[in-house]
């Protein structure tokens, strides 16, 4: 899975570099995210390049959120394109994971959490 991790203070920003997060690469995403999840409990997932996500892709994101919740961490998602946002709304992901317009807003959202 192609992504870049940038640390901003105590938040890891993961910019995903694929156009599809689906059954073909969801397992790779989970596997490659493991070191990031173990190193940082506050993660922003930047999905700007992702144009399509299916149930396996959403499941991979949910597995990251579940892990982080178990270690008192959190996941924020940002820069979600309309087709992917529609899928997230259908599965109600936006109700359990904060979705923000840009990276700065997502990083700042962690400062509001006490």
- Mean pLDDT, the chain, whole residue set: 95
The DSSP annotation for 5-66 comes to: EEEETTEEEEEE--SEESTTTHHHHHHHHHHHHHH-SEEEEE-TT--EE-HHHHHHHHHHHH
- Beta bridge pairs of residue 14: 5, 45
- Beta bridge pairs of residue 16: 3
Domain count along the chain: 1
pLDDT tens across 19-36, in order? 999 999 999 999 999 999
Q: Which structural domain range is residue 22 located in? A: 3-112
Residue 113: the pLDDT is 58
Report the predicted TM-score, pTM, of the whole model to 2 decimal places: 0.93
Locate 35 and state its tokens.
């070191």
pLDDT tens across 54-78, in order? 999 999 999 999 999 999 999 999 9
User: 114 pLDDT exceeds 80?
Assistant: no
CA proximity to 63, closest of 103, 23, 33, 18:
33
> pLDDT: is 114 or 106 the higher one?
106
Q: For position 62, which CATH number holds?
A: 3.30.750.24
């Amino acid at each position: 899975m192609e992504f870049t991790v940038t640390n901003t203070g105590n938040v890891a920003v993961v910019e995903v570099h694929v156009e599809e997060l689906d059954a073909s690469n969801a397992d790779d995403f989970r596997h490659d995210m493991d070191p990031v999840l173990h190193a940082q409990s506050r993660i922003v997932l930047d999905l700007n390049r992702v144009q399509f996500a299916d149930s396996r892709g959403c499941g991979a994101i949910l597995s990251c959120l579940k892990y982080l919740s178990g270690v008192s961490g959190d996941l924020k998602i940002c820069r979600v394109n309309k087709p992917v946002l529609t899928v997230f709304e259908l599965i109600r992901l936006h109700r359990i994971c904060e979705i923000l317009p840009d990276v700065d807003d997502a990083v700042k959202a962690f400062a509001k959490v006490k």
